[in-house]
Amino acid sequence: MGLAMSFLRVPPVLDGAADPAVVARRLFGAGGARPAGTALDLGGAWQAVHYLLTGDPWDGPQPEGDVVCGGRLLTEDGADELGRDVIYLEPARVAPIAAYLAATPFGAVAGRFDLTAMKAAHVQDADAFDDGVLDRVLAPAYAALGRFFGQAADAGEAVYKAMEERPAR
């Protein structure tokens, strides 16, 4: 089992609800419906992407640290109810992320790819990485994040990040 992260772009008010915790229950609760074309699944690559962005498995400055690890945890008491942790990024935090990703080419963060350092920092799945994972998995994930956050910022949307356990592939 490993942790996987997915992202969902959502208007700040959904079906009349503006409270992010209420919106999260509607989106991720039983029978929750997610609008088509608004999701991005990073799977198990989330922590490696965060490491490339910040040089750390968990921390980092804003806005790059917000891409994966930033935001307000909505499920401190509700992860069991929803079956995952849900983190909320308000639209005001989405726009700087989009600008950062648009202005920072993958090559600028790819230099942080260091398998030895990533293993020592306990980055998820680093023990299974090979040199090809950078081009095969992480570069496409970074590009997808740039498109995703750009679309969310352009539409004035919030971003919900869901983290859940999934079987290892």
Q: With beta carbons less than 8 A apart as the criterion, state whether 66 and 78 touch.
A: no
Distance set, CA 70 to CA 79, 89, 118 (Å) = 17, 7, 20
Q: How far apart are CA 164 and CA 84, in angstroms?
A: 5
pLDDT at position 35:
73
pLDDT at position 79:
62
- Domains in the chain and their CATH numbers? 2-166 (3.40.1760.10)
Distance set, CA 131 to CA 33, 54, 63, 69, 102 (Å) = 38, 19, 27, 24, 25
Q: Residue-wise pLDDT tens for the chain (169 aa)?
A: 799 999 999 999 988 999 998 999 888 887 777 777 899 999 999 999 999 999 999 999 999 999 999 999 998 765 677 889 999 999 999 999 999 999 999 999 999 999 999 999 999 999 999 989 999 999 999 999 999 999 999 999 999 999 999 886 5
Q: Given strand 158-166, what is the order of strands in its sheet?
A: 39-43, 2-10, 158-166, 85-89, 72-73
Q: How far apart are CA 54 and CA 61, in angstroms?
A: 7
